[in-house]
């Protein structure tokens, strides 16, 4: 997972037992709605940002539906509240997605929402966690330390890929052909939205 904030570098995951309880809660509340498969929970606690992803991988498929949340916090009390908001908001995304079975309304890049009178950033992705972990093993990347840190090259690559995707979206929407996309402003839709929950 890549943090939303540029300042987020060192991180630690949620405690194992707590994360297992989160998985059990999602399984109890959503398993009856889904085809056979499994939930995958991933989390990162940065000094001022909580990052949480709940994914569902249907048995026999590579497509993994991920619902991600990012929220800023201050202090331990703020962290606890932020974690709860991340869990609640991704549960709302999951419920909305499986009720409609449509991806078109899911934000593919971080988008700000008002959730319980707090600003939270949400997005949908299809990254397969197991395949990513296997690729990391091949590349010799391991996450077995309590405190982790991001590779600057990885973040730079993600930023470049994001800019390319944004420019492509702008070009598609405005049907611009043979135009220098470096002149196109990609900072769009930064306003607040109300997320249904």
Whole-structure pTM over 0.75, yes or no? no
- In this prediction, residue 192 carries a pLDDT of 44
Residues 14-72 pLDDT 10s: 999 999 999 999 999 988 877 888 999 999 999 999 999 999 998 888 889 999 999 99
pLDDT tens digits, one per residue of 118-158: 899 999 999 998 888 787 778 765 555 555 665 555 555 55
For residues 96 and 111, the model is more confident at 111
pLDDT value of residue 194: 46
Determine whether 32 is exposed, middle or buried from the number of CB atoms within 10 Å of its CB (0-12, 13-18, 19+): exposed
- Give the separation between CA 8 and CA 10, rounded to whole angstroms: 6
CA 52/CA 190 separation, integer angstroms: 21
Q: Which sign does the torsion angle of CA 106, 108, 114, 115 carry?
A: positive
Angstrom distance (rounded) from CA 55 to CA 65: 5
**Which tokens hold the place of 23?**
């998985």
Phi and psi for 24 in degrees, rounded to 5? -60, -40
The rounded distance, in Å, linking the Cα atoms of 146 and 13 is 8
């Amino acid at each position: 997972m890549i943090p939303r904030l540029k300042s987020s570098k060192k991180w630690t995951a949620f405690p194992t037992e707590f994360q297992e309880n989160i998985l059990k809660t999602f399984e109890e509340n959503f398993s009856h709605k889904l085809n056979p498969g499994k939930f995958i929970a991933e989390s990162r606690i940065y000094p001022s940002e909580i990052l949480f992803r709940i994914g569902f991988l249907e048995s026999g498929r590579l497509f993994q539906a991920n619902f991600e949340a990012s929220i800023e916090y201050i202090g331990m009390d703020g962290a606890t509240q932020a974690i709860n908001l991340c869990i609640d908001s991704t549960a709302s995304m999951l419920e909305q997605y499986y009720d409609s079975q449509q991806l078109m309304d899911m934000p593919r890049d971080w988008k700000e929402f008002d959730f319980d009178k707090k600003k939270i950033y949400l997005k949908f992705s299809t990254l397969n966690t197991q395949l990513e972990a296997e690729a990391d093993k091949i590349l010799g990347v391991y996450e077995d330390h309590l405190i982790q840190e991001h590779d600057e090259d990885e973040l730079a690559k993600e930023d470049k890929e994001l800019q390319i995707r944004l420019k492509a979206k702008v070009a598609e929407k405005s049907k611009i052909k043979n135009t220098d996309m470096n002149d196109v402003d990609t900072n769009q839709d930064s306003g607040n939205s109300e997320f249904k929950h």
